[in-house]
Structure 1
């Protein structure tokens, strides 16, 4: 789901991480400068209340297995910030970001922060554009915040940008990359065996929206699915891929989606 609403995780399809807001229902389990300050973007596509960008989704690391992780539908709407910070990755002035986890979620803020740091530091990520840089902080001013939250809380935050995430998808709005707990833990059917990869897609897609990138579609059968494609809605002949760039530093993209 874009504008700083998100960015690979917005129309909803059945949840499987990640433009104009679109909606696609998912199974219950299964920019630096934004275009305009405070403009919304969802990761995958549930019903979007405005034509803009949609929500969308992504392999991570050491989180509990899906079967062992409680998945509450709602929480208090308050957050705990991951302590510490990271060094700068990428070239140019770093965009400072904070990682927060809603109270009541059993996944620790430190675990989420470690995974987000790894994703944003990957050479196939947005730093490959040659001018984007990131640095995680736990205090002081930030350019954006990454939040892991329960479905109801995600819906409330995304609605601030006019998006309906339907309890199933992610979004990027008002300098917040908002990740649905169910997507983070369960991924989607296309990434059922690669939950960590799906998390990378969520972060790359929603941060991509924050950076000003819109939705694109599959560039051709057998080619890698772009990170800015709403992969939760289907791969359309493309093969799974969670990174914005390939290992040779070439942008993986496709035709724009209105």
Structure 2
């Protein structure tokens, strides 16, 4: 009898221990949906509720897998400095699709935007930048008679062409201009934009590359309209758009527009 009682008590103790384990396990598991897949071996455990979020320097590296990780959609697209800068290209171009409405007064000058093949920049993006520049009230339409309209086909008055330095040099040389692989030009009916200037700007516009692109357009389209070079009008004043700002500001402050917000021209003494 005593041995039976001892055996019964031992069985009861085992049952209680097992039962206690079940009771301890069930409450935490009940928080998970019954359809949840088990965590695969080697995967990081989910952070407990209410835990402090890790800072970027504390975030553990993801486990290595045989497949490439998904791209981080929250990251910004590559900046201008990541754009490849080929020295030369095929000399053939892709036309930006679509067209714009007329901006300015008078008969619009029809223009086309083209990007040399092999350049990793969207012709559509270039065309949008050109459109915004020529439509800005501080641009050439402020003269009261200039007007523009972008087209994709048909006759044009001029072309805006983004190209590699070597291609720019070749086309600018047809008009007797030496661009030296570094600068832009306006020759015949072509506004030639050097890829390096479009992507890298200059030392005075490192923090405003997009603004410098407007300066390129305003300066070279200004030449097409018949405007010549001018220089800085005085210390601390805005640099004229028709000034060769790539050579220095000469005391002026950066400015990309030919007119100010009140419609007054921003200019200076003429230079040869």
Matched residues in 2 for 1:121 and 1:187: separation? 21
1:247 Cα offset (Å): 0.1
1:119 aligns with 2:95: no
Q: Which runs of 4+ in 1 moved over 4 A?
A: none
| SS class of match (1:206) | helix
The residue aligned with 2:258 is 244
1:203 Cα offset (Å): 0.2
What whole-Å deviation, never above 9, does each CA across 1:89-130 have from its counterpart, x for those lacking one? 000000000000000001010000000000000000000000
Q: How does 1:118-197 map to 2 (within 5 A)?
A: 118-197=132-211
The residue aligned with 1:203 is 217
Matched residues in 2 for 1:64 and 1:135: separation? 30
Q: Give the structure-1-normalised TM-score.
A: 0.75
User: Over aligned residue pairs, what C-alpha RMSD do you find?
Assistant: 1.1
| More RCO (CA 8 Å, sep 6+) | 1
Distance 1:94 1:191, change over 3 A: same
1:67 Cα offset (Å): 2.7
Equivalent residues of 1:63, 1:107 under 8 A apart: no
Which consecutive unaligned segments of at least 5 residues does structure 2 have?
A: 1-75
1:64 Cα offset (Å): 4.7
The count of residues paired between Structure 1 and Structure 2 equals: 197
Which consecutive unaligned segments of at least 5 residues does structure 1 have?
A: 1-61
State the structure with more CA Rg: 2
The residue aligned with 1:55 is none
Matched residues in 1 for 2:256 and 2:97: separation? 27
| SS class of match (1:120) | helix
The residue aligned with 1:93 is 107
Matched residues in 2 for 1:75 and 1:130: separation? 39
1:81 maps to which of 95, 109, 114: 95
Matched residues in 1 for 2:271 and 2:162: separation? 27
Distance 1:108 1:145, change over 3 A: same
Q: Give the structure-2-normalised TM-score.
A: 0.71
Distance 1:63 1:216, change over 3 A: farther
| SS class of match (1:250) | coil
1:65 Cα offset (Å): 1.5
What whole-Å deviation, never above 9, does each CA across 1:144-173 have from its counterpart, x for those lacking one? 000000000000000000111111110000
1:214 aligns with 2:235: no
Matched residues in 2 for 1:105 and 1:191: separation? 22
Equivalent residues of 1:224, 1:240 under 8 A apart: yes
1:225 aligns with 2:239: yes
| SS class of match (2:222) | helix
1:107 aligns with 2:114: no
Matched residues in 2 for 1:245 and 1:234: separation? 20
